Amino acid sequence: MTSWDATVDLVVVGSGGGGLTAALAAVDAGAKVLVVEKQGVVGGSTAMSGGVVWIPNNPLMRAAGVPDSYEDAMAHFDAVVGDVGPASSEQRRHTFLTAGLEMLTFLQRRGVRFAYCRGYSDYYSDAKGGIDEGRAVEPKPFNGNRLGEWGRKLQPGLAKSLGMAVMTNEARSLSHYNRSLRAFAITTRVVMRTAAARAARRDLLTNGAALIAQLLGAALERGAEVWVDSPLEDLIADGGRVVGVRISHDGSTKQIEARRGVLLSAGGFAHNPAMRGEYGGDQPNNAKWSMANPGDTGEAMQAAMQLGAKTDFMDEAWWIPSPRTGRFGQSTLDQARQRPRAIYVDAAGRRFVNESNSYMEVGKAMYERNKTSRAVPCWLIFDDRYRKRYAHVRSHPGWFPKEMLESGKLKRAATLEALAAECNIDPAGLADTIETFNRHAAEGRDPEYGRGESAYNKALGDPSRKVKNPCIEPLDQAPYYAVEVLPGDIGTCGGLLTNEHAQVLDQDDKPIPGLYATGNTTATVMGRHYLGPGASIANSMVFGYVAARHATGDEAGA
Sheet with 53-54, side-by-side order of all strands: 53-54, 136-139, 114-116
The whole-number average pLDDT for the span 100-129 is 97
By CB neighbour count within 10 A (0-12 exposed, 13-18 middle, 19+ buried), where does 192 fall? exposed
Distance CA 193, CA 203 (A): 12
For residue 199, give every residue at least 6 positions away whose Cβ sits within 8 Å of its Cβ, in sequence order, or none: none
Q: What is the pLDDT of residue 164?
A: 87
pLDDT (0 to 100) of residue 558: 34
Could you give the angle at the alpha carbon of 541 between the alpha carbons of 537 and 542, nearest 5°? 115
pLDDT given for residue 325 in this prediction: 75
Q: Which residues does residue 139 pair with via DSSP β-bridges, in sequence order?
A: 114
Q: Give the Cα separation of 280 and 4 in Å (integer).
A: 39
On the question of pLDDT at 329 being above 50, the answer is no
What average pLDDT does this structure show over 254-264? 98
**Whole-number Å distance between alpha carbons of 59 and 286:** 41
Angle at 138 between CA 137 and CA 143, to 5 degrees: 150
Q: For residue 398, what pLDDT is reported?
A: 64
What does DSSP say about strands 378-383 and 342-345: parallel, antiparallel, or unpaired? antiparallel
456 phi, psi to nearest 5 deg: -65, -45
Distance CA 21, CA 216 (A): 9
Give the strand pairing for 6-13 and 252-264: parallel
**399-437 tens-digit pLDDT:** 777 788 888 889 999 999 999 999 999 999 999 999 999
| Cβ atoms within 10 Å, residue 197 | 19
| CATH 3.90.700.10, the chain: domain bounds | 324-489
Spelled out in words, what is the top-level CATH class assigned to the domain 324-489?
alpha beta
Cβ atoms of 491 and 237 closer than 8 Å: no
Pick the closest to residue 495 from 299, 311, 323, 326 (CA basis). 311
pLDDT digits (tens, 9 = 90+) for 452-474: 999 999 999 999 999 999 999 99
pLDDT at 557 > cutoff 60: no
Write down the pLDDT at residue 285.
80
What is the pLDDT at residue 159?
67
HEC readout, 208-242: HHHHHHHHHHHHHHCCCEEECCCCEEEEEEECCEE
CA dihedral for 508, 509, 512, 518, sign (positive or negative): positive
Residue ranges matching CATH 3.50.50.60 in the chain: 1-316+493-558
Cα–Cα dist 295/400, whole Å: 32
Look at residue 505 in the predicted model and tell me its pLDDT: 98
Residue 21 pLDDT greater than 70, yes or no: yes
- Using one digit for the tens of pLDDT, what is the confidence trace for 466-511? 999 999 999 999 999 999 999 999 999 999 999 999 999 999 999 9
Q: In terms of CATH architecture, what is 1-316+493-558? A: 3-Layer(bba) Sandwich (3.50)
**Which neighbouring-strand residues pair with 249?**
252
Least confident among 344-353, 384-393, 538-547: 384-393
pLDDT confidence of residue 332: 66
Alpha helices of 284-331 — where are they, by DSSP H? 299-306
Those residues whose C-beta lies under 8 Å from the C-beta of residue 471, and which sit 6 or more positions away, are 338, 339, 340, 355, 356, 446, 451, 452, 457, 458, 461, 462
What pairing do the DSSP bridges indicate for beta strands 378-383 and 252-264?
Answer: unpaired
* CA dist., res. 307 & res. 511, Å (int): 12
CB neighbour list of residue 156: distance below 8 Å, 6 or more residues apart? 41, 47, 48, 209
Q: pLDDT per residue over 58-78, tens digit each?
A: 999 999 999 999 999 999 999
- Find the radius of gyration of the CA atoms of the chain: 23
Closest by alpha carbon to 383, among 351, 415, 407?
A: 415
Give residue 199's Cα distance to chain centre.
Answer: 32
Q: Quick one: average pLDDT of 81-98?
A: 98
